[in-house]
Amino acid sequence: MSAQREMKEKNPWHTPVTIIITVIGVIAIVALVTVAVLQNRPFPQKYKYGIVLDAGSSHTALYIYEWPAEKDNNTGRVEQTHSCKILVENALAFCPGISSYASAPSKAGQSLTECMQEAVQRVPEKRRGETPLYLGATAGMRLLNMENSAASDSVFQSVKKALQMFPFSYQGARILSGQEEGAFGWVTVNYLDDRLKQGLETTGALDLGGASTQISFVSDNYNGSESPSNSVTFRLYGNDYNLYTHSFLCYGKDQALRMTLAHQSQAGPGTVLDPCFHPGYAEIKNYSVLYDSPCVSDRKPQGAPATFNHTGNGNFLECQKTIKNIFNFTDCKYSRCSFNGVFQPLLQGPFGAFSAYYFVMNFLNLTDTSIPLDDVKEKLKRYCATPWNQIRQRHPNIKLKYLAEYCFSGTYILTLLTEGYNFTSESYSDIKFIEKIKGSDAGWTLGYMLNLTNMIPAEAPDSPPLPHAGYVSIVTVIAVLIFILFILSLRPLWPSCSKQPQIV
Ligand SMILES: O=P(O)(O)OP(=O)(O)OP(=O)(O)OC[C@H]1O[C@@H](n2cnc3c(O)ncnc32)[C@H](O)[C@@H]1O
Ligand SMILES: [Ca+2]
């Protein structure tokens, strides 16, 4: 026992000085790690918002985007948090876009009120004043502007007046060019897929609207020189992109249907027996409504009666033949063309097809592009041949206008993709029909906002070399090592082994 007491007395660990040093050391490490954790703790998230109104030819929709306030310059963080479709009270109007208010422009602004009020509710009060609000109009307004620019101006006046009444930072309303529409759709798809920041192979974008359709993709063998008007260059996150893009005005699915019908009605007044509509379909339609668009107005037959009888006979192959008439495949002054003499480089990479591509193929259960193209055509052939009354019975809840047109729309989509853009049986499987990516709608609006708010930097942003958790771990390990070194430095004071008493 006395030997043990002697050892305890000689052991420096038991001296008051070493105990105090140890306690101070432990407190210092705890304090150091706590400060590191607190100082670098992520802030509670604060968000910023942006609002874009998509004034399309067939509808207007409002999108709210949100991103963490301190990450303006980062990627993959902007998300769609809300969308609102502008519904039109007029039962006769079929979800028309703002261009349909040409004869009553003041109503164009009014029509936006409900969705704008929703937006006010969705954006926190503190953020409203700094939230940018944009309205972009596409092919419907492009057509109205061509047809009647005064009416188009009045619609914009009405829309601007209405939007400025809301507590957001109004940034303007304007018509997007077809090039912008195509390019921003491509930016949206690739941004949401995180392809831009990582410099991955990009996805092409196929957008089918009511009045125009866009194709945008990067092709290695295209440098933009052959047809400069189809070229858009970007530098995003330190990568250069040379994008091919084209927008075909009048080749959205509503205008394409008009053109197809107009072509068929040239055969003579009275009845149109349409292979793109189901057998048993019969409607009296108005010539003046059919020809009321710059896409077809020059073809209006002279002295035609007021109405014609539109009847269906549901024949996919005949429908495809009829649709082909609205494309010109003969004139091409470039090395290669899609149609109507428009240059198109070799198709490359995967493609995302959205808007009406998705609505239609989703309804027809044909979004699976691993199904061989011939089988897709066979299914559509059977669908088109199904009598109209059976189709109506099977889908009592689908709007009749959509329902009547799915055979035409599906056939048009396949014709546009294969005959128009030159997708083959093999490359058809490169297409993915998509509605949303990670919760945000595919479309031009997000790309438009990212561009106008400079949210995609040209160069890759500097990121901290270590994530927060890594930083705290390293600080902890270093602090512990310093402490151990300190203890080891006290070694001369340790009892030496030779002096250890033998306990017998
Ligand atoms: O781009 P633009 O040409 O200006 O037109 P848009 O923006 O109004 O066009 P959308 O993508 O909203 O819609 C494209 C077409 O799809 C139609 N559509 C929308 N929802 C649909 C659905 O559920 N089923 C079938 N068609 C639908 C709509 O009427 C248009 O003809
Ligand atoms: Ca659109």
**pLDDT, tens only, 171-208:** 999 999 999 999 999 999 999 999 998 899 999 999 99
pLDDT reading at 3 higher than 70: no
pLDDT at 91: 40
pLDDT reading at 22 higher than 70: yes
Banded pLDDT at 169 (limits 50, 70, 90): very high
Distance from C-alpha of 154 to C-alpha of 156, rounded to nearest angstrom: 5
pLDDT at 503: 47
Is 211 annotated as ligand-binding?
Answer: yes
Task: Determine the residue of 53, 355, 406, 436 to mutate for testing ligand 1's pocket, defined as the one with the most ligand atoms within 8 A of the Cβ atom.
Answer: 355
Pairing of strands 204-208, 351-355: parallel
**Residue of 387, 395, 390 lying closest to 365 (CA atoms):** 395
Please report how many Cα atoms fall inside a 13 Å half-sphere around the Cα of residue 294, on the Cβ side: 15
Structure-token match 């000085």, residue found: 17
- What tokens appear for 353 in the block? 């097809």
pLDDT at 496: 56
Rg of the chain over all Cα atoms, to the nearest angstrom: 33
Distance from C-alpha of 482 to C-alpha of 473, rounded to nearest angstrom: 14
**Residue of 50, 53, 295 lying closest to 174 (CA atoms):** 53
Cβ within 8 Å of residue 79, ≥6 positions away: 65, 66, 67, 438, 439, 440
pLDDT at 5: 54
Cβ within 8 Å of residue 194, ≥6 positions away: 75, 76, 200
Distance from C-alpha of 424 to C-alpha of 108, rounded to nearest angstrom: 43
pLDDT digits (tens, 9 = 90+) for 370-411: 999 999 999 999 999 999 999 999 999 999 999 999 999 999
DSSP 73: T
pLDDT reading at 76 higher than 70: no
Q: Residues 8, 14: contact at Cβ < 8 Å?
A: yes
Task: Tell me if 59 CB under 6 Å of ligand 1.
Answer: yes
pLDDT at 499: 46
**Residue of 383, 389, 386 lying closest to 365 (CA atoms):** 383
**Residue of 213, 219, 245 lying closest to 232 (CA atoms):** 245
DSSP for 450-470 reads HHHTT-S-SSPPP--SS-HHH
Task: Tell me if 402 CB under 6 Å of ligand 1.
Answer: yes
Q: Residues 7, 495: contact at Cβ < 8 Å?
A: yes
Averaged over 413-420, what is the pLDDT? 98
Distance from C-alpha of 75 to C-alpha of 101, rounded to nearest angstrom: 38
pLDDT digits (tens, 9 = 90+) for 90-115: 444 455 899 999 999 999 999 999 99
Q: Is 147 a catalytic residue?
A: no
Distance from C-alpha of 156 to C-alpha of 309, rounded to nearest angstrom: 37
- What tokens appear for 413 in the block? 């989509």
| Residue 354 CA to ligand 1 centre (angstroms) | 10
pLDDT digits (tens, 9 = 90+) for 312-334: 999 999 999 999 999 999 999 99
Q: Count the residues in the chain.
A: 504
pLDDT at 24: 77
Domain 253-433: give its CATH code: 3.30.420.150
**One of 6, 181, 201, 459 is an active-site residue; which one?**
181
pLDDT at 504: 39
Averaged over 403-422, what is the pLDDT? 98
Averaged over 281-293, what is the pLDDT? 95
Q: Residues 76, 197: contact at Cβ < 8 Å?
A: yes
> What type of residue is 46?
K
Burial of residue 356 (CB within 10 Å: 0-12, 13-18, 19+) is buried
pLDDT at 491: 66
Cβ within 8 Å of residue 430, ≥6 positions away: 347, 349, 350, 351, 369, 423
pLDDT at 92: 44
Task: Determine the residue of 152, 359, 406 to mutate for testing ligand 1's pocket, defined as the one with the most ligand atoms within 8 A of the Cβ atom.
Answer: 359
**DSSP SS3 for 76:** coil
Say how far residue 126 (Cα) sits from the centre of its chain: 28
pLDDT over 70 percentage in the chain: 88
pLDDT at 466: 67
Distance from C-alpha of 37 to C-alpha of 29, rounded to nearest angstrom: 12
Is this complex's ipTM strictly greater than 0.95?
A: yes
Banded pLDDT at 72 (limits 50, 70, 90): low
Using CA atoms, how far residue 239 sits from 24, 73, 190, 196, in Å, is 52, 16, 13, 8
Task: Tell me if 56 CB under 6 Å of ligand 1.
Answer: yes
**Residue of 359, 369, 358, 351 lying closest to 434 (CA atoms):** 358
Task: Tell me if 209 CB under 6 Å of ligand 1.
Answer: yes
> What type of residue is 220?
D
Distance from C-alpha of 110 to C-alpha of 163, rounded to nearest angstrom: 9
Averaged over 415-443, what is the pLDDT? 98
Ranges of each domain in the chain = 2-26+465-499, 253-433
Is 39 annotated as ligand-binding?
Answer: no
